[in-house]
Amino acid sequence: MAESDNAPNAEYAVELVGITKRFPGVVANDDIHLKVGRGEVHALCGENGAGKSTLMKILYGMQQPDEGTIRVDGSPVRFRSPADAIRAGIGMVHQHFMLADNLTVAENILLGAEGQLGIGAAARRRIEELSRTVGLQVRPDVLVERLGVADRQRVEIVKVLYRGARTVILDEPTAVLVPQEVDELFETLRGMRAEGFTFLFISHKLDEVRAIADTITVIRRGTSVGTADPSSVTSRELAEMMVGSELPSPGKREDTVTDREVLRVEGLELTDANGRHLLAGVDLVVHAGEVLGIAGVEGNGQTELVETIMGMHRASGGTMVLGEKDISRASTLERREAGIGYVPEDRTRHGLLGGQPLWANRMLGHQSRPPVSRGGLLGLLDRAAARRDTERIVAEFDVRTPGVDVHAAALSGGNQQKLVVGRELSGYPVLLIASHPTRGVDVGAQAGIWEELRRARADGLAVLLVSADLDELIGLSDTIKVMLRGRLVADADPATVTPEELGAAMTGADAGEGAA
């Protein structure tokens, strides 16, 4: 049970004192100290694997510390479960939303909290009141499946506020938002801060951290290494605090695009079981040495485009040609055999087997090709060769792991992603489909993945890049196309377009949905 007596005059909403958490073979948190003032937005920055997630799980009662003390409003507490944390006024909005699409806004908010105000008029009034607080302008009886990403996030915030939270942990809250939605979220947070709410803001987007935070704490290799004032620290200085060394200067963009077509898609159509168009007349061409970026608000067909090109959905119309080979009816394996590498949007679902060692994950999708196979699709798997090549990937792509026998699930998100990128580039593809390749990874891992993509592009690789990170799209792409409601509606020149202009095209706010 939470042991908390409400101390309204306490200086800090939350204090973490000497928090240490050990797992077999690793110290995730090592004597961490963190003080979060009441009514402030306190940002937490650090590389993947630095210990941020473990620390927040401890604060939210999902894990218990081996050493150290948690204080809420000046009083020591002990959380044995998230229910204890909620009773103490701490809520958490996870990066991956915990909503049921087939339920209404009100049903999602009330689920598990029916005992507070029932499910009738009083509960509805409270939901409407909190909806105004967070700027949620949809009716409580609307199905969640009809909401956009920004409104889903607001529903998640209302959920934790309905349960009495005054301190809210936000885990990567802007990861899937366009710039206009980020601005709206920040306006909401500022308004709630003025009403006395406290926020712990976890993000890898350092410019955004500096824009919204009152205080920034940096964690490196499991321990807190210092705090920073967002009004005086630069993003580069923050990044160097996170990695513990000076970062290289960004490289100059070089034109490596050739005239050789690697992928041509014409008139691509995809309909669902109800006949609804998910893709409608999509045309695109990717050349050798080119990064073609696809921008769009999530849910507008980018996932379906990627999965249809990979053969995970059967197109209802159109053609796809890889090099000179028509792959429109090919299986996913045949497309991989033809030279397509794939970094999936959801690495845990489509990119890795969490319960298998790293060397076994090296073979996924490549089990018919050297060095992991001898004799093609029906040949023998060479486990020793797979282990050796995994060790090479670990070294070349800076995958931080005790060894290749470690299960993939034990790695941080950034290290999992570096393993997937390293595996796919090791197959020497002619086309790489990279879907959100740096989502949820830290600045160090992000820079490493970007550098690998640039190097492969310079060697002639064609890349189809889908990303919600507009800076990433602009920084890596040679051409950008905007997807809206299953169609490519605009082109943008990454040399001149701004994130705001790209965001306007993504939401259809630009005139006529034309060129960005």
At residue 510 the predicted structure's pLDDT band, cuts being 50, 70 and 90, is low
Residue 175 backbone phi and psi in degrees, to 5: -60, -35
Average pLDDT over residues 468-478: 88
Residue 408 backbone phi and psi in degrees, to 5: -60, -35
Q: Check pLDDT > 80 for residue 444.
A: no
Q: Check pLDDT > 70 for residue 305.
A: yes
Which residue type, as a one-letter code, is found at position 266?
E
At residue 509 the predicted structure's pLDDT band, cuts being 50, 70 and 90, is low
pLDDT for res 379: 56
Of the chain, the percentage scoring pLDDT greater than 70 comes to 93
pLDDT for res 515: 39
pLDDT for res 457: 92
Angle between helices 235-243 and 443-458 (to 10 degrees): 100
At residue 58 the predicted structure's pLDDT band, cuts being 50, 70 and 90, is very high
**Lookup: tokens for 397:** 């792509």
Q: Over the stretch 348-391, which tens digit does the pLDDT of each residue have?
A: 888 899 999 999 999 888 877 778 777 655 557 888 889 999 99
Average pLDDT over residues 86-96: 89
At residue 445 the predicted structure's pLDDT band, cuts being 50, 70 and 90, is confident
Q: Check pLDDT > 60 for residue 1.
A: no
- Range(s) for CATH 3.40.50.300 in the chain? 12-243, 261-513
pLDDT for res 470: 85
Q: 96 or 130: whose pLDDT is higher?
A: 130
At residue 410 the predicted structure's pLDDT band, cuts being 50, 70 and 90, is confident
Q: What is the mean pLDDT of the chain?
A: 87
pLDDT for res 97: 81
Q: Check pLDDT > 60 for residue 69.
A: yes
pLDDT for res 10: 66
Average pLDDT over residues 217-229: 89
At residue 309 the predicted structure's pLDDT band, cuts being 50, 70 and 90, is very high
How many CB atoms sit inside 10 A of residue 485's CB? 16
Q: 12-243 — its CATH code? A: 3.40.50.300
Q: Check pLDDT > 60 for residue 166.
A: yes
Of the chain, the percentage scoring pLDDT greater than 90 comes to 53
Average pLDDT over residues 167-188: 86
Q: Check pLDDT > 50 for residue 67.
A: yes
Q: Check pLDDT > 90 for residue 511.
A: no
- pTM for the complete prediction? 0.66
> In a 3-state reduction of DSSP, which class is residue 130?
helix
Q: 430 or 398: whose pLDDT is higher?
A: 430
pLDDT for res 53: 84
pLDDT for res 250: 46
> In a 3-state reduction of DSSP, which class is residue 354?
coil
Q: 246 or 113: whose pLDDT is higher?
A: 113
Average pLDDT over residues 71-97: 91
Q: Rounded CA gap, 478 and 457, in Å?
A: 10
Output b/e per residue, 393-412; b: 16+ Cβ within 10 A. bbeebebbbeebebbbebbb
pLDDT for res 247: 56
pLDDT for res 245: 65
Q: Is residue 85 packed enough to be buried (19+ CB in 10 Å), middle (13-18) or exposed (0-12)?
A: buried
Q: Which CATH architecture fits 261-513?
A: 3-Layer(aba) Sandwich (3.40)
Cis peptide before 494 (omega within 30 of 0): no
pLDDT for res 372: 78
CA distances from 377 to 16, 259, 327, 427, 428 (A): 54, 33, 19, 15, 17
